[in-house]
Structure 1
């Protein structure tokens, strides 16, 4: 629930940002890490900074990757190779997700008056991609390794699902996002809409949910059609986009 609140909080400034950017002159696109951190300091009000300050670093990063992080990747040209992306390329970072991760980490540490440790952050992502490439090569060339990893992943996923089933029991309230359009191969945040509901039970690895509320009423017909909803009962396959509503 904490991550959902942070997600809403970080997204809430986007509307105001679009309306006020011309007045405040904060629509400047940064060209390096220091400017990016300063931009976030300018964008966020003190109340938002205080909320971030109370979080752990991992909580902040987990909650902001798809909100504030996505906004930076789209608006600061990280996907399009603009000036800020070129800066990161010059220090050995090439994926937009890694770029936004370094910005968010540095911003968090700046608010806490900590050393950003940029070189350490860069090394972390470089090590990740090195291990990832080695892993892919082994998957392609070593059948035994591939089988072992598949069994390990299956075991982890089963354990996670079993734990969720024990926690997400009948009668509990949840909130999350479902696709609002049918037949789209490309899925994304802006093709989703939020619903709230009551858990009925589980059908294998799918969640059976009674829809209590459409946050955006205009999207109701689309969702009803896409998921073949009858009597407000919906079968949720992608329940990773949901979380329990804490009372």
Structure 2
């Protein structure tokens, strides 16, 4: 916020959007305002959501049914994140000399929650919609898998983790690291030739558990692996 503003300005709790913008103008130093003006609207909102935005939500009692919260409820805004978003957007636009377009901002948030509620309701009650969502998710997953298969081509080096014991409860602390070279993909199963066991004393156990022959391993979970540079 630049130079420290008077405590009275920091403690004051606005009762409506006009007062909120006025308070932000008071507590920001001219240098800070120039830095804000150098940003795009998206940059300012993105950079402010977890800093200034948190301060607004907590200190202006947006989570606790304060006067400012009640003001936003009266115009159809109910989530504190949405309230602080409108405050920050309106403040930025005022600094820029732009129209706040408050009605448009309110409608944007209302449309979001309406669509979200309709989506959840249809997921619960509409079997055709459920099937469409599953098909869409499956298609996206398949596309990601195909992209990975193309990127993780034979000859590339990988490293990752496998469970130390195949009959044990899966837990990160019970995994061991290995390195290898990609041989091929068997459908969506990664086949590698193991080149290094980070814990050599586990080698015989792992070979037995995963049926490793001549260092060839069908990787049980390649999500735990990454490409090596």
- Structure 2 length normalisation: TM-score? 0.58
CA–CA separation in structure 2 for the residues paired with 1:127 and 1:58: 19
Does residue 125 (structure 1) correspond to residue 109 (structure 2)? The answer is yes
Which one has the largest radius of gyration?
Answer: 2
Cα gap change, 1:54/1:132 in structure 2, threshold over 3 Å: closer, same or farther? Answer: same
Displacement after TM superposition at 1:134 (Å): 0.6
Q: 2:31 aligns with which of 21, 33, 47?
A: 47
Match of 1:64 in 2: 48
Displacement after TM superposition at 1:35 (Å): 0.7
- Describe the superposition over 1:96-126 as per-residue Cα deviations: whole angstroms up to 9, x where unpaired: 1110010011001001000101111111111
- Describe the superposition over 1:17-63 as per-residue Cα deviations: whole angstroms up to 9, x where unpaired: 5xx543x6442111100110111111111121111111111111111
Runs (4+) of structure 1 moved beyond 6 Å? none
Larger relative contact order, structure 1 or 2 (CA cutoff 8 Å, min sep 6): 1
CA–CA separation in structure 2 for the residues paired with 1:74 and 1:150: 39
Q: Which runs of 5+ in 2 are unaligned?
A: 152-157, 162-171, 174-229
Contact 2:123 2:129 survives alignment (8 Å): yes
Q: 2:62 aligns with which of 72, 78, 86?
A: 78
Contact 2:9 2:26 survives alignment (8 Å): no
Q: 2:83 aligns with which of 81, 99, 109?
A: 99
- Structure 1 length normalisation: TM-score? 0.54
Does residue 140 (structure 1) correspond to residue 124 (structure 2)? The answer is yes
Q: How many pairs align?
A: 153
Contact 1:61 1:104 survives alignment (8 Å): yes
SS at match of 2:11: coil
Does residue 112 (structure 1) correspond to residue 87 (structure 2)? The answer is no
Displacement after TM superposition at 1:80 (Å): 0.2
**CA-atom RMSD, angstroms?**
3.2
